Amino acid sequence: MRVTVLGGCGAWPAAGESCSGYLVEEDGFRVLLDIGYATLPRLLHHVRAAEVDAVLVTHGHPDHCADLNPLLRARVLGDSAVAPLPVHAPPGALDAVLALDGPRMLAGGLVAHDLAPGAPREIGPFRLDVFDLPHHVPNAGLRLTGASGRVLAYTGDTGPSPDLLALARDADLFLAEATYPERVPEEDAPYLSTAREAGRTAASAAAARLLLTHLWPDTPAEPALAAAAASYEGELSVAAPGVTVDLG
């Protein structure tokens, strides 16, 4: 399983950056986890639009799903006929981004599936387990298990939750929202996380690698890395375009 970071900015893309988007590949199958602002041009450095096999969107904020619109445009308006794209998202999460074009424009471009906790589902070679995590809007934590048995756990955007431990348990890679290094402003404290908390969860869950993501735009990586390293001793880095992690 290989994970390629397309972007890691929270909220909006800083100069030359992109918001949340991760390309996950195994056995030739390509799934995107989130597709936020400015991720499509980066994706197209790696694969053609027609080569994406599925998209999983954690929640409906545009820093996680805005570039679904240009991805669908590239597939529908491009030269060759492409099968409808399976897109999994919490109910209603895609309403706004899909309304950017009239219904005829992208007709047949996608097949939408609701994401919710429950029985695991199969996405190509992956098993997907979904966790309902606290954010301003419904947010699906995603745990992908590859055919190889490798596990990628991704929080989306989340406040503190006991379910994070189950999401990240023994993961080969824990991709964790860490908007702030040490402290979330009070009004957002139930809905966002810190690097310090991500480090604690990664340590408790015995995750093999921790990749911090969704840092506030234009903030340096070092304070986030230091906060996470206070409790986590494994392999630790910050998500940025071009970072690739091979999970074997």
Strands 173-177 and 209-213: parallel
Among 34, 63, 67, 197, binds Zn ion (CB under 5 A): 63
Q: Does 34 bind Zn ion (CB under 5 A)?
A: no
Q: Are 245 and 209 in contact (CB under 8 A)?
A: yes
Nearest to 122, CA basis, from 151, 146, 89? 146
Region binding Zn ion by CB under 5 A among candidate stretches 63-71, 114-122, 162-170, 200-208: 63-71
- The rounded distance, in Å, linking the Cα atoms of 178 and 214 is 6
Under a CB-based contact definition with an 8 Å cutoff, are residues 36 and 67 in contact?
yes
67 binds Zn ion (CB under 5 A): no
Q: Is 197 in the site for Zn ion (CB under 5 A)?
A: no
Residue (of 44, 53, 60) closest to 87 by Cα position: 53
The Cα–Cα gap between 187 and 203 comes to 27
Task: Convert residues 123-162 into a mask of x (bound to Zn ion by CB under 5 A) and - (unbound).
Answer: ----------------------------------x-----
Question: How far is the C-alpha of 79 from the C-alpha of 136, rounded, in Å?
Answer: 39
Residue number, 59 or 209, with CB nearest to Zn ion: 59
Site for Zn ion contains 26 (CB under 5 A):
no
Taking a C-beta distance cutoff of 8 angstroms, is the pair 160, 200 a contact? no
- Contacts with Zn ion by CB under 5 A: the residue count is 2
In this complex, which beta carbon is closest to Zn ion, that of residue 25 or of residue 157? Answer: 157
Compute the least distance from the CB of residue 180 to Zn ion, in Å: 13
User: Do β-strands 235-238 and 209-213 pair in parallel, antiparallel, or remain unpaired?
Assistant: parallel
Q: How far is the CB of 58 from Zn ion (least distance, A)?
A: 9
Q: Candidates 27-35, 44-52, 62-70, 232-240 — which segment interacts with Zn ion by CB under 5 A?
A: 62-70
Q: Nearer Cβ to Zn ion, position 67 or 157?
A: 157
Residues near Zn ion, by CB under 5 A? 63, 157
